[in-house]
Amino acid sequence: MARPKQRKPAVPAPSGPLPPFRSIPSALEPFAPCLSKSHIYIAHVDTFPASFKRKIFLVPVAMNVGIVALCVWWWLKVQGPWYLSLLASFSGVRNETTVVAEEESPSTLVKVVFARGLWFLLDMTLFIFVWPWPLEFFLGTGGSASPTAWRRTVGFREREIVVRQSREWDRKILKTGNIGGSKAGEPLDFLKKEGDGSLARGELLNRLRIATSPRLVKEKTGYLTMDGDWDLAWDAMIAAHSLVDKKEITIEAFTLVALVHHDVYGWLVIDLEGSTVGGNMLQEQRRNDIFRFREALVSVGKEDLFYRWIEIVQFESTRPEGFGKERQEDVAQQIRTMFSEQGIDFDEFWKEAVGKDAAEGL
């Protein structure tokens, strides 16, 4: 008689990521496919004036244009003719670069070799270390976008989405496992509670706290947030603005949020103690409420009404004279009237779409 097969114990499904990590909110889901799983990202909204951003960007533009002009002048006017003379000399045409060893003293030959070696070294240095700067700035490298492409596509706006991506330090957290006692190249789970996972998680959170400090985010425009740990993700910034322009995501969804990919849980956002990374829970709930309200208006063909509502709230709340209680009541009535003209009762519609009192939407 055949022995009954023993059932393997069911593997319990993961209950959720380890705090302070949590699943990406629905408001940011359209943005996730634009990111690389090999990097960690920080996004925030840059509110510096557009005129200031333009002035800041003109500095690297002028610098890189100057480098290109200098290199072109150097290779066409100085080194170009010299290299042509060398080639002609090698071909048997005597000119000022021709050196006949039998006709020169050893000291002269040493000087010639040394001088030409310096010229070759200088050109190699320019080509390897200096020329890539303008090349990357204007054209990009490795198939990625460039700062110039970013500005050409996005322009200069009062509110811009800035997306930073981690540099090579992320490899020991996301890929190589080269932390503590783990072997280089081994996969590493930064969500494990103990061991190398705990070390990797600690380093990740520490770097995020530094990179999201209020002083850095509030006192530096986006282009100046690049440093040894973080680079700007030009493609991601272009994609983010495209999604906002297409009205698939609201710009508020990018209010200081950190994202990282995990093999089991997918894309996660990170909450840090004492920081607004990922937004605190109230802010996150507010963003989700706005997103649900927008979806409800889209479903009844009134998406334009949503953006008119956003414009009114943003304009009135940022007026120099303030947004006191009396002004809030006037704006609330203005919003109700605007929706009523479109055949929608704002209070009922908000409550049905969001499940909360309409006062939160006014």
| Same-domain check for residues 262 and 171 | yes
Residue 181 has pLDDT above 60, yes or no: no
Which of 80, 105, 138 represents a domain boundary (last residue)? 138
What confidence score (pLDDT) does residue 359 get? 65
Which of 216, 251, 273 represents a domain boundary (last residue)? 273
What confidence score (pLDDT) does residue 223 get? 95
For 4-15, the pLDDT digits (tens) are: 444 444 444 456
Query: Closest Cα to residue 151, out of 253, 48, 252, 223?
Result: 223
The number of CA neighbours under 13 Å toward the Cβ of 26 is 11
Q: CB neighbours (10 Å) of residue 200? A: 23
In-domain check, residue 288: yes
| Same-domain check for residues 32 and 173 | yes
Pick 316 or 297 by higher pLDDT: 297
| Same-domain check for residues 40 and 165 | yes
In-domain check, residue 72: yes
Residue 180 has pLDDT above 50, yes or no: no
For 218-246, the pLDDT digits (tens) are: 889 999 999 999 999 999 999 999 999 99
| Same-domain check for residues 234 and 329 | no
In-domain check, residue 53: no
In-domain check, residue 113: yes
Beta bridge partners of 163: 43
What confidence score (pLDDT) does residue 9 get? 44
| Separation in Å, CA 257 to CA 53, 263, 267, 273, 289 | 22, 20, 12, 13, 17
Cβ atoms of 241 and 153 closer than 8 Å: yes
| Same-domain check for residues 193 and 238 | yes
How many domains, in total, are found in the chain? 3
Which of 107, 138, 169 represents a domain boundary (last residue)? 138
Residue 332 has pLDDT above 70, yes or no: yes
What confidence score (pLDDT) does residue 361 get? 60
For residue 239 the two structure tokens come to: 């994609």
**Domain of residue 224, residue span:** 21-47+159-273
